[in-house]
Amino acid sequence: MVLYRTVFDNFVHIRRAGYFLDAAREFVKYGGTSMNIANFPDYIYTPDSHYEKLYSETVNVSRAVWKTGINTVTTIGPYPLDYFYFQSAGKDPLEYMKKGIDLAACLIINGEADAMGEVGYPHFPVDEKIYNDSGEILKYALDVCHDRNIPLILHTEDMDKNGYLRIEELIKKHYKIERVMKHHANARDISFNDSILKSVVASRNNVKSAIESKKNFLLETDYTDQKEKPGKVIPVFSVPKRAEMIKNSYIDYMEIFHKIFEEVPFRFYGKDFFNK
Ligand SMILES: [Zn+2]
């Protein structure tokens, strides 16, 4: 099905042990053309080889998906919950995750991947020490991305208006706000008056309120490729399905498509990966 020349899912986790290329084909079948593939947070490697192996796996998965005809962007970096993995292995999470940031930056500069992420805070309440350490890791990532002009994707808890303003202030101390995006945002977040770019989960209601806000946003599924939990995650074809909904509901759908699938992602990732 062809809905538009570019139908972009801004955040998916695809892995070899999941539906892998079948998931990619399903996405295409419904009209999807492009996706950002982020690390699948797996803890199957040793702490010392964790990032090296995880990143190379993500890069390889992204290349394999690209070969099926999808334009891919690749996002690598330490995930906030890696903290607990290193901690329980008796390692210093700060040291390991900062090294993970350095390695990701290196691979991005070499053209193996495109963005740093998902970095930030765990999405559930944690004690003060872990929260502060996560903040230190985020600041380090912002500095590294600043020095190399790398786009950075945030993972955080659900935030209210003040939460966004707080994190905006932190970002601005270290990096340009337009180089940072919050993934897995809620639709109401778009109406907040901070200037962080938001990537909204592609539910029907989210899409409607995001469009009505007239602000810039991106659409994502945060699809988690798990055979063991079918039906528990938002389906991989959700962004194309929502694109179909937009096409059927908005007279200016071409402008909306151009903005959310081309203009905004192109500006953020800084390269034209949409025209294969
Ligand atoms: Zn996330």
Ligand 1 midpoint to CA 52 (Å):
20
Rounded CA gap, 191 and 250, in Å? 20
76 contacts 104 by C-beta, under 8 angstroms: yes
Ligand 1 midpoint to CA 251 (Å):
33
- Whether 40 maps to a domain, the answer reads yes
Ligand 1 midpoint to CA 36 (Å):
13
pLDDT at 274: 55
Mean predicted lDDT score pLDDT of the chain: 94
Lowest mean pLDDT among 99-103, 153-157, 227-231: 227-231
Rounded CA gap, 73 and 36, in Å? 4
Q: CA torsion sign, 87 to 89 to 91 to 95?
A: negative
Ligand 1 midpoint to CA 68 (Å):
25
- Whether 257 maps to a domain, the answer reads yes
pLDDT at 276: 47
pLDDT at 234: 87
Tens of pLDDT along 232-247?
678 999 999 999 999 9
Ligand 1 midpoint to CA 184 (Å):
6
- Whether 23 maps to a domain, the answer reads yes
Ligand 1 midpoint to CA 179 (Å):
17
Domain with 205, as residue range(s), is 8-269
- For residue 78, the 8-state DSSP code is -
Tens of pLDDT along 79-122?
999 999 999 999 999 999 999 999 999 999 999 999 999 999 99
pLDDT higher than threshold 70 for residue 275? no
Ligand 1 midpoint to CA 155 (Å):
5
pLDDT higher than threshold 80 for residue 272? no
pLDDT at 270: 81
- Whether 3 maps to a domain, the answer reads no
Tens of pLDDT along 36-88?
999 998 899 999 999 999 999 999 999 999 999 999 999 999 999 999 999 99
Ligand 1 midpoint to CA 267 (Å):
21
Rounded CA gap, 219 and 3, in Å? 15
Ligand 1 midpoint to CA 4 (Å):
27
pLDDT higher than threshold 60 for residue 198? yes
Ligand 1 midpoint to CA 28 (Å):
23
| Stretch 209-222: mean pLDDT | 95
- Whether 276 maps to a domain, the answer reads no
| Domains contained in the chain, number | 1
Residue (of 274, 13, 269) closest to 151 by Cα position: 269
- Whether 275 maps to a domain, the answer reads no
| Stretch 210-237: mean pLDDT | 88
Ligand 1 midpoint to CA 225 (Å):
14
CATH at residue 124: 3.20.20.140
Rounded CA gap, 164 and 40, in Å? 26
Rounded CA gap, 82 and 120, in Å? 11
Number of residues in the chain: 276
pLDDT higher than threshold 80 for residue 169? yes
- Whether 214 maps to a domain, the answer reads yes
